[in-house]
Amino acid sequence: MQLKDIFLRLTSRIVLLIAIIMKKIVILLFIAFSLFVTGQAQTIVYQEDFNSGISSWTVYSSGTATQSWDTTSTHYAFSFDGTPFIITYDWSGITMVEEISSPTFNAATSNPLFLTYEFSFMYQSTALQGLVDVYDGSAWQNVRTFSGTDTVGIDTIDISAYANANMQVRFTASCSGGYNWEHDFMIDNVKVYEMPATAISENDSQPPYPNPSENALTLKDINEADIDFIGIYSVSGDLVKVCEKKTVIDISDLEAGSYILRIIVNGAFTDDMLFIKQ
């Protein structure tokens, strides 16, 4: 009898553990989709894939390291999509500040503006920092700092606050020295784009409406019984809220700003939709 109790308890804990792991996998899949799928048309302001080199970008190197930003298609076994990308690295354990900045491009817009890029940051053992900055027309503004954790992925940042006619993007690897071990900072597929938050009415074909909205979004052409999931994400891909499976979505509790709405209908993702909460 006791053995049976132990067995049942153990089984229920294993089932719970599996459920937690499955939930995390599903959330990670949703985040991955948020980076690739967008329902509203993007207007690309600037993009660079480095497949033709880095001649249009400006490299600034200081410190005692001899390496600086360069292009390669693979670094040891690593590559993004098989095409050239930019990399700076150091394995001498000495100081370096390696900057690479884009040409100036016109990003003067009142629409939400986003920066996205693929990255690999390998800090290994010491004080490497990877910095991502944008030029707001008068000064560089830091929008992301990598340090202390090896990370690989696609980053998306809302840079609306810095939109201007003379924008630039800059990546910096900064190392204050340390162990004799390798540090890498690798970047590819830099893109700056705006996603117009045009007002959407009930007569428009694209849900949700109205957009922008203060309290609720209404989905068109979707049968409530077919909805499997409705989630609201930040523009950087974090799950903010799981909503009731209804065609009228309550957003009254959200802070004002830009969000991504993701819906699963009959087991299939619909396009992600950017909306503005007023």
Which residues in this chain contact Ca ion in the complex, by CB under 5 A?
Answer: 49-51, 83, 188
Please list, residue by residue across 139-177, b when 16 or more beta carbons sit within 10 angstroms of its beta carbon and e when fewer do.
Answer: ebeebbebeeeeeeebbbbbbbebbbeebbbbbbbbbeb
* Paired strand residues for 158: 114
Which residue's CB is nearer to Ca ion, number 54 or number 265? Answer: 54
Which residue's CB is nearer to Ca ion, number 50 or number 171? Answer: 50
Q: Is the peptide bond before 208 cis (omega within 30 degrees of 0)?
A: yes
Which residue's CB is nearer to Ca ion, number 86 or number 195? Answer: 86
Please state the closest distance from residue 49 (CB atom) to Ca ion, in A: 4
Q: Are 174 and 121 in contact (CB under 8 A)?
A: no
Distances (CA, A) of 276 to 199, 214, 255: 10, 8, 10
Q: Which residue of the chain is nearest Ca ion when measured via CB?
A: 83
Please state the closest distance from residue 231 (CB atom) to Ca ion, in A: 31
Please state the closest distance from residue 209 (CB atom) to Ca ion, in A: 38
Return the sign of the alpha-carbon dihedral for residues 79, 82, 86, 92: positive
Distance CA 236, CA 216 (A): 22
Which residue's CB is nearer to Ca ion, number 87 or number 219? Answer: 87
Which residue's CB is nearer to Ca ion, number 186 or number 251? Answer: 186
Please state the closest distance from residue 185 (CB atom) to Ca ion, in A: 15
Residue 175 amino acid letter: C
Please state the closest distance from residue 196 (CB atom) to Ca ion, in A: 27
Which residue's CB is nearer to Ca ion, number 83 or number 142? Answer: 83
Please state the closest distance from residue 91 (CB atom) to Ca ion, in A: 23
156 CB-near residues (< 8 Å, 6+ apart)? 34, 35, 114, 115, 116, 235, 236, 237
Q: Are 85 and 188 in contact (CB under 8 A)?
A: yes
